[in-house]
Chain A
Amino acid sequence: MLNLLRKDYIALKSSLWAILFYFVVFSVAFIPTVEMSMYFVGIYTAFSSIMLATMIDIKNHNHKFLVTLPLSRRNIVQAKYLSAILYTLFGVFASSGAHWLVNFLFPELNKPDLSVLDILISVGMVLVLISIYMPLFYALSKKGAGIINTVFMIVLIILAQPVASLMNMAGENGMGRASVYVFVSVCILLLFIASYFVTVRLFARKDL
């Protein structure tokens, strides 16, 4: 597993600046203008990084190389899910740090105070996106995976505002009870685990 994470690092070494670039662009774009920027910056940065990390493996049909290494296809999927979790944590914590800093340096922007719940909601949303994205990425061909990436980016942009409004409404209608959060968290975790098993199954059967 460590070797696969190391493999990702070597393959992405020259593109790591892009992750910081995404973070800066999304921060500049959302923090001054969007009330719920904490979610957007974290989710967009995390998901863009995940897409960068997955696309690097299909640029030159590299799965054909990876499956010849002394690994199972399950190992390859496991490592990608693990790195997706790491990117999620990076995106969300980087966003939290940026918002904390903005609150401190520019109080006139009136950004809402951060809570642990905000971090958990962001993490949960990225986990849902990963759960849908990964099986599609591993099941489709190089061309299909490229299309999926584009579709995901478009959907993220289109659905950003409606989802934000929905979350506001949910908060106002008293859906913010602890029991609801626990229920939703468990559902997201189950979805993530199910997605992992589906992806392993799809990739194990796939002809490369």
Chain B
Amino acid sequence: MMNAIELRNLSKTYPLFKLDQITLDIKQGYITGLIGPNGAGKSTLISLITGLIRPDSGSIKTLGKEVPAQEINVKERIGIVSDECFYYEHLTIREMKSMIAPFYKKWDEKLFNNYLEQFELSPKKKIEELSKGMKIKFSLAIALSHDAELLIMDEPTSGLDPVFRRELLDLLADMIQDETRSIIFSTHITTDLERIADYIAFIHKGKLVFNEAKDDVLERYMIVKGDMKLLDADTRRQFVGIRETAVGFEGLADNRAEAERLFGNYALLHRPSLEDLIYFTAKGEKHHA
């Protein structure tokens, strides 16, 4: 299987945070969700991939090309959608489009106008007059109008209403139907990823916890809910993280078979959500610390 992005030992150090030796492959033809708690390093990783920041060490290969050495070729073939908007705010959508379009060889004016219509964006509106959701729609229209092979999306659904969020997810799912395009999608709204992601890359405290097929991940982990009497030093070791209350505990076990063997007859077991993975991993770290 080809990789749309290959990161090797990628590190970036800030005074209070370190993205540490990330090695990650983003599969071509699939949607990969990038998840993790606040400050885990998702946006730093996306900024490294998009060339906004430079790594201290390690390498980035996007669509088979080394970055930044072959960045012009790469940027021609990728689309970037972010929850932050860095366009020229005093310009209208039409002016901004006139500025951007000539840079792309495969710019499709008709497609762009179709997206504007679909997203209900007026070309006469100034960027500064757009709401956060409308800005995301505009950057999506730009990203989709130059035949991008790879969409890199940083929190793209955060400012969107539920109706358009669903429409966007359908649009993305349609986009990868031909299996040549790829999407990397960082978000806090893990339900979006449960709907459309094929792979999940989980980052925590600047380190990659896993990058696996979503179904495999959700099959491997198990939520266990039971009485406090079930917890002792040995059984605690089965859990990535535990939430204890007056009436019992809830924990995330990372070995489904072992959890079933130990707790199957005494506790309630169910498949976790992606949010459970983030919550219990973060909680587990705090507990161990």
A70 to B87, Cβ gap below 8 A?
no
B53 to A65, Cβ gap below 8 A?
no
A8–B122 CA distance with the chains assembled, in angstroms: 23
A93–B51 CA distance with the chains assembled, in angstroms: 40
B50 to A68, Cβ gap below 8 A?
yes
Determine if B76 is an interface residue (Cβ-Cβ < 8 Å): yes
Q: Which residues of A lie under 8 Å from residue B164 when comparing CB positions?
A: none
Measured CB to CB, the nearest residue on chain B to A6 is B102
A68 to B89, Cβ gap below 8 A?
no
Q: Which residues of B lie under 8 Å from residue A60 when comparing CB positions?
A: 85-89
**Size bracket, chain B contacts:** 20 to 34
Residue of A3, A61, A207 near B86 (CB, 8 A) is A61
Determine if B65 is an interface residue (Cβ-Cβ < 8 Å): no
Determine if B75 is an interface residue (Cβ-Cβ < 8 Å): yes
Q: Which residues of A lie under 8 Å from residue B95 when comparing CB positions?
A: 10, 13
A62–B99 CA distance with the chains assembled, in angstroms: 13
A59–B89 CA distance with the chains assembled, in angstroms: 9
B residues near A (Cβ < 8 Å) are 47, 50-54, 68, 71-73, 75-76, 80, 84-91, 95, 98-100, 102-104
B90 to A14, Cβ gap below 8 A?
yes
Given contact pairs A3-B102, A60-B86, A60-B87, a sample of 16 additional A-B residue pairs in the complex whose CB atoms are under 8 Å apart? A7-B99, A10-B98, A11-B88, A61-B86, A63-B86, A64-B52, A64-B84, A64-B86, A68-B50, A68-B75, A69-B103, A70-B75, A70-B103, A71-B72, A71-B103, A205-B54
A62 to B87, Cβ gap below 8 A?
yes
Q: Which residues of B lie under 8 Å from residue A10 when comparing CB positions?
A: 88, 91, 95, 98-99
Name A91-143 residues within 8 Å CB distance of B.
none
Determine if A208 is an interface residue (Cβ-Cβ < 8 Å): yes
Residue of A3, A14, A62, A67 near B51 (CB, 8 A) is A67
CB distance from A1 to the nearest CB of B (A): 11
Determine if A56 is an interface residue (Cβ-Cβ < 8 Å): yes
Determine if A72 is an interface residue (Cβ-Cβ < 8 Å): yes
Name A5-62 residues within 8 Å CB distance of B.
6-7, 10-11, 13-14, 56, 59-62
A139–B53 CA distance with the chains assembled, in angstroms: 14
A204–B71 CA distance with the chains assembled, in angstroms: 12
A149–B76 CA distance with the chains assembled, in angstroms: 34
Measured CB to CB, the nearest residue on chain A to B77 is A70
A205–B12 CA distance with the chains assembled, in angstroms: 13
20 A-B residue pairings within 8 Å (CB atoms): A3-B102, A3-B103, A6-B99, A6-B102, A10-B88, A10-B91, A11-B99, A14-B90, A60-B87, A60-B89, A64-B86, A67-B51, A69-B75, A69-B100, A72-B68, A72-B71, A72-B72, A206-B54, A207-B53, A207-B54
Q: Which residues of A lie under 8 Å from residue B86 when comparing CB positions?
A: 60-65
Per-residue 0/1 for A187-208: is the Cβ within 8 Å of any B Cβ (1 yes, 0 no)? Answer: 0000000000000000011111
Measured CB to CB, the nearest residue on chain A to B78 is A68
With A11-B91, A59-B89 as known contacts, state yes or no: A68 contacts B104, CB within 8 Å.
no
Measured CB to CB, the nearest residue on chain A to B101 is A3
Q: Which residues of B lie under 8 Å from residue A7 when comparing CB positions?
A: 99
A208 to B103, Cβ gap below 8 A?
no
The 7 closest A-B pairs by CB, nearest first: A65-B86, A207-B53, A64-B86, A70-B76, A70-B75, A208-B52, A10-B99
Q: Which residues of B lie under 8 Å from residue A207 when comparing CB positions?
A: 47, 52-54
A54–B104 CA distance with the chains assembled, in angstroms: 24
Residue of B47, B91, B98, B104 near A70 (CB, 8 A) is B104
CB distance from B257 to the nearest CB of A (A): 45
Measured CB to CB, the nearest residue on chain A to B127 is A60
Q: Which residues of A lie under 8 Å from residue B73 when comparing CB positions?
A: 70
